[in-house]
Each structure stands twice: as C-alpha cells, then as structure tokens.
Amino acid sequence: EAGVTQFPSHSVIEKGQTVTLRCDPISGHDNLYWYRRVMGKEIKFLLHFVKESKQDESGMPNNRFLAERTGGTYSTLKVQPAELEDSGVYFCASSLDLAGVYEQYFGPGTRLTVT
Amino acid sequence: AQKVTQAQTEISVVEKEDVTLDCVYETRDTTYYLFWYKQPPSGELVFLIRRNSFDEQNEISGRYSWNFQKSTSSFNFTITASQVVDSAVYFCALSERETSGSRLTFGEGTQLTVNP
C-alpha cells in the first residue's frame, strides 16, 4: 500500500512568488491534514479536511495560504505571495475516519525556502 | 490550552546505552490521545505509538517502551540498548478529542544521536 506522498520534495522561490504544494493521501483515508515546521520549532497544525470539506482551518496563518481538496482525493496548498517567514517544512498527513481516533500517517514533507 | 513540552533538545549516547526521552503535556480534556513519532534523517514522520487517556498501562515493543503517568502528565519513551539506527528526531504529540478534534499538538522534538 502506498503511503502519503508529497510533491515537490524541495522548492526554492523568491519572495512574492507563488508556490503550490501537493499531497496525495493514503487511498481510502477521508481525513487529510496539513502541518508545517518552521525554523526547527515544533510542528504546527494548519488545517484538516474531511473528504472535500474543511473541518478545521484554525491553524492557517493568514489569507496568503489557500488549501483545496477537490473531489476528496489529493490536496493542494498554495502560498501566494510567499514571504520569507513561510520557509519551512510542510507536512501532509492522512488518517481513517474519526469514529475512533486513528494515527495520522505523514508524508515526507516539502521543504520550502523563500529567498 | 493544550501544550506538549519536550525539555530535552538534544541527547547523545553511545550505542547499547539506554535512553529516555521525556514528554510532559497539558490539557483540560478528560479524553485525549498521546503519540510518539520518529523523524529519521530521510525526513518522513514515522508513527510509533498511540495511547488514550484511559489506558495507563505501560507498553513495550521490542527495545521500545513507553511510560504513561497521568499523575505527572508525562508520557516518556525509553529505548533500551540503543543502536545507531535509532538516531533521529523524536516528537511527542497530543490530540484532544473534545476541544480540538483530531489535530495533533506537537512538542519541539528531541534530537537523539547514537554514536557507535
């Protein structure tokens, strides 16, 4: 069974440019999460999808970040325009339904560098 | 508000030593879940264990063991007879079922280096 995949693995962009990160969850996982780790700090929650709906987007830092999950499959996270403080590692995770509390399986992350 | 503290930023041991990684959490919920994840140099986060707040039994899995104590709000992780392959960043995380749904609150991680 394929795990969570993320693309690209690395992205280097200039301040003011746009970047789109993609996440493909494990097949059959309705729940999809985005997290990021900035400057070696703790990993922080960004948002949570249940299928195609945003369940919780309380962690999104500002309106420069836009997440979508069309059709309830893969998800994209767009940063527009990127700022220096957006640099970090962006992780995607997926899990089964919420009837129980299931462990979240993480992808390898996308390392974003804004110069 | 929920919080996870991993006071040890870095730990360095010699192979075959035992090592304990500390995790202290704060929560107002009565139902919550605790997790440990491992991040090897390759970068992905690998799930190690999930514990719910109603189960304080300690758990052992091979060289790994976990000690959950609600009285001290701690969920410590011990590696017995450490190996070089255990070198990684280890994260403790908390999920509060009632107040914050299923999202994870992470500690800052502990970098473990096991030297040959």
Find, in chain A, the residue whose alpha carbon is nearest to that of B31: A101
CB contact under 8 A, B45 and A42: no
Q: Calculate the CA B41 to chain-centre distance.
A: 17
Q: List, for residues B5-19, the tens digit of each pLDDT value.
A: 999 999 999 999 999
* Confidence at A77, pLDDT banded by 50, 70, 90: very high
CB pairs under 8 A between A and B: 64
Higher pLDDT, B91 or A41: B91
| CB-closest option in B50, B93, B102 to A98 | B102
- Structure tokens given for A66: 């836009």
Rounded Cα distance between A64 and A78, Å, is 8
State whether residue A86 is helix, strand or coil: helix
Across A19-29, average pLDDT: 95
The pLDDT of residue A99: 55
Q: List, for residues A81-110, the tens digit of each pLDDT value.
A: 999 999 999 999 999 866 556 788 999 999
Give the position of tokens 């992205």. A11
Rounded Cα distance between B46 and B55, Å, is 22
The pLDDT of residue A103: 83
Rounded Cα distance between B60 and B39, Å, is 20
The C-alpha of B39 sits at a distance from chain A's nearest C-alpha, in angstroms, of 9
